[in-house]
Chains A and B, each alone.
Chain A
Amino acid sequence: MTFDQFIQNLANGISLGSLYALIAIGYTMVYGILRLINFAHGDIVMLGAYVAFYGVVMFMLPWWVAFPLAIILTAGIGVIIERAAYRPLRSFPRINLFTSAVAVSFLLENLGNVIFGGRPKAFERPAFMDIALQIGEASVLSYTPIIIVTAAILFAILIYIVNRTKVGMAMRALSKDIETTGLMGINTDRIIMFSFMLGSALAAAGGILWAIKFPQINPLMGVMPGLKAFIAAVLGGIGNITGAMLGGFLLGVVEIMIVAFFPDLSGYRDAFAYVILILLLLFRPTGIMGEVQAEKV
């Protein structure tokens, strides 16, 4: 492989990785607080892409109105899901919450099938994202750096919220101990709602960027990215936001690079993520940055 091809693959890997990372953050935030694998999260990604699509195609909105609007609407849907399907089950065994998440995921996918139609739709990129950029011999379309930069900005905003604001502090407290946080006078319901809102907003952004990168959208498009992003979250140490980003980038780059270096293995592409996951879990059962929790007896 030439150096230019390597650069091209690396750019591709990083942009895929930043999408995984964006989606993984939603998983990790919800898991850190509720210990719930929110399997409906991948379908939020799909919703984000579809709302943006309809905003542009049906309501003729320019992209800079449609995309932020889609993110806000999807965040709202995330909050509704939390209120309707997860909050009533919070005090029940975790399998109930998990099944509820699976049911929500089924519902969103099938509703998508009925409302949006099962046939894939072509998502049109704004024109400025289709310019070919030359880096030496390598050429990438301009959406690749745009995805990376947008994701980086969103990460910066998120890290600021989590580490520097009062809400962020409450979120961190919640992930340590829900009950005690409630006793300290923090409205836990509201903070959990806020986490869902934040996670869904990032997922929607991820969905729109995903549709820009792979411009065919269908009601099941969120399933695979959702699952891979969840793996990324586990790789990084679930519950840890920096870990989720790291896991996302790692997974994206490794996936692209293995196919680039060993083209014979491209049929096994979907299995790489799981193989990496299982190997890592065997040697570091709590992920790269996860804390080792002492067993309480």
Chain B
Amino acid sequence: MKISRNTLLTLGALIIFAGFLYVAQNMFNTYILRIINLCAIYSIFAITFNLIYGYTGQFSLGHAGFAAVGAYVAALLTMSAQQKEANFFLTPIVPALATMQWPFLFAIIAAGLLAALVGSLIAWPALRLRGDYLAIATLGFSEIIRVLLVNMQPVTNGALGLKGIPPYTNLFWSWGCVVITLFVIKRLTNTSYGRALRAIRDDEVAAEALGVQLARHKLMAFAVSAFFVGVAGALMANLISTIDPKVFLFFLTYQIVGITVMGGMGSLTGSTIAACLYTIFLEVLRPIESPFTIGNLHVPGVPGMRMVLFSILLLIVILFYRHGLMGTREFSWDRLFEFFRGKKKASPLTNSEGEQE
């Protein structure tokens, strides 16, 4: 078997990236590590939203709910018995969960599987709905999950949330999951399944007439997407170590939609890049909220200014950069080489996703 130049380059890049993660994990302080971890988590969120909307055309706003399921499952499975006892001081925890403690890997997988189950349960009735009706129904499901989390006190500790979740998430876990997500979804979209999904996006009626089973494919897109969202939720719980139902308000979903649009609909690498830019950008803007002095002018810190600037920038990107950073294209080595050779020729190979719009 001959290994192509591009595969070698990808492998090389992965090794260099792993080296960088190793150095970073040992050198940077917890604050910077947290940002790099968050980049990874938002990347997974955006990539999965891209699968379900960018590729399949199903406008689903259920991401916050899937993430909540994953986060709570992982939190409950990784916390020690003492931590749980300390958390559940109002209502005692259900006995079955009280002493359960799993290794992180299994907790992540369980989180993903349960999220996928919930995703399929939601998809099943939602398959009858289209477009905006689907959007509002999935948003509703996600909010119902959140209300359930608030009210199922013996399992979730209600509105108090869970504190002291062991901080297992490190750069290898988080970015490892990004690489796996990218790999699986990219492979999936290259198979006949992926072509069926794109056919559904472009024209449901025509796809059905050609023999694509709509229900099965949509269900699969929902389940795969929800699985990885659950994984990302698990990583998030074990990163920020404190979760409560408010974290998973529909604002989270809106953010994910915003990131995905900024990265470009239908571009998985675009989603990753936009997620990293978004997370880093929010942190870089932090100083404008503290008081500073320019010459004789003393500017008092305005809390909340960061989000104002961020929303203005988001608007500018949407209004003037309408196809997002990457459009529907993916990062490819061929194009990179072309760029450095100064050729402006769009190769049909690198543009295989370009049929949208």
Q: Looking at the assembled complex, report how far the CB atom of B262 sits from the nearest CB atom of chain A, in whole angstroms.
A: 8
**Chain A's nearest CB lies how many Å from the CB of B211?**
16
What bracket does the count of chain B residues touching chain A fall in? 35 or more
Whether B205 contacts A297 by the Cβ 8 Å rule is yes
| A residues less than 8 Å from B265 (CB atoms) | 93, 95
Query: What residue in chain A is nearest B140 (Cβ atoms)?
Result: A274
Q: Are B137 and A277 in contact (CB under 8 A)?
A: yes
B91 within 8 A of A: no
Q: Are A95 and B141 in contact (CB under 8 A)?
A: no
- Is A113 part of the contact surface with B, judged by Cβ < 8 Å? yes
Complex CA gap A295/B131 in Å reads 13
Given contacts A35-B132, A278-B141, contact A107 B318 (CB under 8 A): no
Which of chain A's residues has its CB closest to B320's CB? A88
Please tell me if the beta carbons of B314 and A277 are within 8 angstroms of each other in the complex.
Answer: no
* Residues of A contacting B137 in the complex (Cβ-Cβ under 8 angstroms): 277-278, 281
Q: What is the minimal beta-carbon distance from A289 to any residue of chain B, in angstroms?
A: 15
17 additional contacts (CB under 8 A) given A103-B315, A104-B315: A37-B135, A95-B53, A95-B265, A99-B261, A102-B258, A107-B312, A107-B315, A110-B307, A111-B308, A118-B304, A270-B143, A270-B147, A271-B143, A277-B137, A278-B140, A281-B128, A282-B125
Known: A231-B136, A277-B136. A285 touches B129 (CB 8 A): yes
Chain A at the B interface: mostly helix, strand, loop or mixed? helix
Q: Is B151 an interface residue (CB 8 A)?
A: yes
Q: Which of A31, A92, A106, A268 contacts B311 (CB 8 A)?
A: A106
Question: Is B297 interfacial (CB-CB < 8 Å)?
Answer: no
State the CA gap A267–B149 with chains docked (Å).
11
Cα distance A293–B312 in the bound complex, in angstroms:
37
Closest chain A residue, CB of each to CB of B309: A110
Is A89 on the interface with B (CB-CB < 8 A)? yes
| A70 nearest CB across to chain B (Å) | 22
A37's nearest neighbour on chain B, judged by CB, is: B132
- Cβ contact within 8 Å between B151 and A100: no
Are A102 and B254 closer than 8 Å at their CB atoms? yes
In-complex Cβ contact of B151 among A95, A268, A285 (8 A):
A268
* A residues near B188, Cβ cutoff 8 Å: none
Residue of A nearest to B302 (CB): A114
B308: which of A89, A110, A267 is its contact (CB, 8 Å)?
Answer: A110
Instruction: Enumerate chain A residues within 8 angstroms of B205, measured Cβ to Cβ.
Output: 295, 297
B261 contacts which chain A residues (CB < 8 A)? 95-96, 99
Q: Is the CB of A89 within 8 A of B318?
A: yes
Is there contact, CB below 8 Å, between B322 and A96? Answer: yes
- Provide the residues of chain B in CB contact with A80, threshold 8 Å: none
Q: How far is A216 from B144 in the complex, measured between Cα atoms in Å? A: 25
Contacts of B308 in A (CB 8 A): 107, 110-111, 113-114
A147 at interface, CB cutoff 8 A:
no
CA distance A231 to B261 in the complex (A): 25
A183-235 with Cβ < 8 A to chain B: 227, 230-231, 234
Q: Given the complex of chains A and B, what is the CA–CA distance between A271 and B143 in angstroms? A: 7
B125's contact among A92, A231, A234, A278, by CB below 8 Å, is which?
Answer: A278
Could you tell me the distance between the alpha carbons of A285 and B130 in the complex, rounded to whole angstroms? 9
Q: B292 on the interface (CB 8 Å rule)?
A: no
Chain B proximity of A291: nearest CB distance (Å): 14
A to B CB contacts below 8 Å, 22 in the list: A37-B132, A39-B254, A89-B319, A89-B322, A95-B257, A96-B318, A103-B315, A103-B318, A104-B311, A106-B307, A107-B308, A107-B315, A110-B310, A110-B311, A114-B304, A114-B305, A231-B136, A231-B140, A270-B147, A282-B125, A285-B128, A285-B129
Please state if A106 and B314 are interface contacts (CB–CB under 8 Å). Answer: yes
Residues of A within 8 A of B129 (CB): 281, 285
* A275 close to B (CB within 8 Å): yes
Chain A CB count within 10 A is highest, among B137, B265, B310, for B137
A95 touches B59 (CB 8 A): yes
Whether B150 sits at the interface, judged by CB under 8 Å, is yes
Contacting residues, chain B, for A37 (C-beta < 8 A): 132, 135-136
From the candidates B125, B128, B147, B322, name the one contacting A268 in the complex (CB within 8 A): B147
Contact digits for B274-317, partner A, Cβ 8 Å, 1 yes 0 no: 00000000000000000000000000001111011011101100
> How long is the Cα–Cα vector from A88 to B257 in the complex, in angstroms?
20
Please give me the residue from chain B that is nearest to A91 by CB atom: B322
B357 at interface, CB cutoff 8 A: yes
CB pair A113–B304 under 8 Å, yes or no, is yes
Please measure, in the bound complex, the distance between the C-alpha atom of A267 and the C-alpha atom of B148, giving whole angstroms. Answer: 9
Whether, in the assembled complex, A85 has its beta carbon less than 8 Å from a beta carbon of chain B, the answer is: yes
Near A by CB (< 8 A), chain B positions 222-273 give: 250, 254, 257-258, 261, 265
Provide the residues of chain A in CB contact with B333, threshold 8 Å. none
Known contacts A271-B144, A281-B129; is A99 also within 8 Å of B307 by CB?
A: no
